[in-house]
Amino acid sequence: MAQIPDAVVTLERDVRDIFGGRFQSLVVYGQRAHAAGGDDAHHGGAGHERALTHTLVVAETLGAADLQACADRLGAWNDAGLATPLLMAAHEFERALDVFPLEFGAIVADHAVAAGRDPFDGARVDPQDLRRASESQARSHLLHLREGYVETRGRADALAVLIVASAAPLARLVTTLARLDGVETHDAGAAARHAERATGAAAGAVANIVALEGVSEISSDAARQLIGPYLEAVDRIVAFVDGWGKR
């Protein structure tokens, strides 16, 4: 990170004041994702939105008084464009890495140390932990997509709403699949095309859905054309992740 934002400098001062000698690290993460137009939360007035800056604070210990002190300052942090910081005790990250390989793996892959030591030095996501989490993500997407399809009761307008709403979760899924396959990208379109090649899905079956992220609506005719290839593609993604590393 070439320059630490003023809001992060203020956050560092605040957390050093809160934790004192227990403070260990302040990390900014998700910066490349922001630059690529990721689906992070936004902040700003009408007609003006800016991505919130995401941070992680590591301290030797965490207690209720620390959380209250952070809560007291949260309004000012949010007003300055900061998302609510993740707060972790020392060694908590490495012990949770196998439980949250998707979430924490993404932080390891895209972070900058703003103050203190790098808490992720030497951290590595086990590929099988990532595979299991990816399979859970893929199967959940497929089950919810099928359930949502049935609940449309054959109405194409409802199907259109379902497809648009599923675009952002699908973008996260294919980005995870790309990472599992050793491809680091924050371009959901590129990740979607990788998923199509890797799984043998029809060209556009994934990319056309991912491209709808941020779109408010599509036509009923478009929904009818998209749903068949979409369902088949997610089926293929599940099978691919299930068999990853077993070939």
Tens of pLDDT along 185-215? 878 999 999 999 999 999 999 999 999 999 9
The whole-angstrom separation of Cα 178 and Cα 185 is 7
Which among 159, 162, 158 has a CA at the least distance from the CA of 170?
162
Tell whether pTM > 0.85: no
pLDDT of residue 131: 87
Instruction: Enumerate residues 6+ apart whose C-beta is below 8 A from 66.
Output: 18, 19, 59, 87
- Read out DSSP for 72-139? HHHHHHHHTTBPPPEEEETTHHHHHTTTSHHHHHHHHHSEEEEEE--TTTT----HHHHHHHHHHHHH
Beta-strand pair 42-43/50-51 = antiparallel
Which helix (H) or strand (E) covers residue 57, if one does? Answer: strand 54-59
Cβ distance 97 to 123 under 8 Å?
Answer: yes
pLDDT of residue 132: 87
Q: What is the pLDDT of residues 71-86, one digit of tens each?
A: 999 999 999 999 999 9
pLDDT of residue 3: 66
Domain boundaries, the chain: 6-116, 127-243
Give the residue ranges of the chain where pLDDT is below 50: 1-2, 33-49
Tokens of 223: 């929904």
Residue 153: CB atoms within 10 A of its CB come to 8
Which among 119, 234, 97 has a CA at the least distance from the CA of 177?
234
Maximum separation of any 2 CA atoms in the chain, in Å: 62
pLDDT of residue 107: 81
Tokens of 126: 């086990």
Strand, coil or helix: 1: coil
Tokens of 139: 């199967």
pLDDT of residue 120: 82
pLDDT of residue 32: 56
Q: How far is CA 210 from CA 12, 60, 144, in A?
A: 37, 41, 16
Tell the CATH topology of 6-116. Answer: Beta Polymerase; domain 2 (3.30.460)
Cβ distance 21 to 32 under 8 Å?
Answer: no
Cβ distance 76 to 106 under 8 Å?
Answer: no
Q: What is the pLDDT of residues 119-137, one digit of tens each?
A: 888 767 778 888 888 899 9
